[in-house]
Amino acid sequence: MKRIGKVHVLTDTVLQARFSHMELARLAVAGGADVIQYRQKQGSTLEMIETARAMKAVCRDAGAVFIVNDRIDVAMASDADGVHLGQTDFPIALAREILGVNVLIGGSAATIHEARDCLEQGADYIGFGPVFHTTSKEDAGPVSGLAGLRELRAAMDVPVIAIGGIDETNAADVIGAGAHGIAVISCVCCRDDPEEAARRLCARLG
């Protein structure tokens, strides 16, 4: 059975430059995060592969899942556990055809219609949001709120990883609304101590 995880930390070096992707991965898993998603939109493919391979090793040693955002070539080259694909990223159906049945594939959705489409194409879980207001993604779209999350879960029996404005103050509410897990960026990556931030976040989920 594929491990989807409960606490997904998306590494980021745009919102902050104090920590590298590698450092964020190491600190987040030390704090209890069970999934690390490598999110890098710019740079050379060679550098991405080298970084991804190093991050994969950290996750493997910690027993965490390693996912690459968007770039299935980088995911394949680093032997990642999975990929996460947005609505305008590499097509999920084609990714499934290329990567096979054993690789974890997540799909981003902001509506029930988009979520159903992701599942029909072969996604294993839905990244749903933004649940709350977020400044981490400029094109995040309108917030769904907890009501939107509940509506999605009532309509579909699918693992949902909620994203958007989630931190230690509201994470438990998100899980209570039906999410399988949460995905975060700022509340871990942009803190002075990402390891402790991840630890506090995980503690909220019990």
Tell me the sheet residues that pair with 69.
84
Which listed residue (71, 96, 108, 144) is catalytic? 108
Q: What is the 3-state secondary structure (H, E, C) of the chain?
A: CCCCCCEEEEECCCCCCCCCHHHHHHHHHHCCCCEEEECCCCCCHHHHHHHHHHHHHHHHHHCCEEEEECCHHHHHHCCCCEEEECCCCCCHHHHHHHHCCCCEEEEEECCHHHHHHHHHHCCCEEEECCCCCCCCCCCCCCCCHHHHHHHHHHHCCCCEEEECCCCCCCHHHHHHCCCCEEEECHHHHCCCCHHHHHHHHHHHCC
Which listed residue (39, 199, 200, 204) is catalytic? 39
Which listed residue (53, 116, 137, 153) is catalytic? 137
Q: Please indicate whether residue 41 is annotated as part of the active site.
A: no
Q: Please indicate whether residue 20 is annotated as part of the active site.
A: no
Q: Please indicate whether residue 108 is annotated as part of the active site.
A: yes
Are residues 106 and 127 in contact, defined by beta-carbon separation less than 8 angstroms?
Answer: yes
Report, as residue numbers or ranges, the catalytic residues: 39, 108, 137
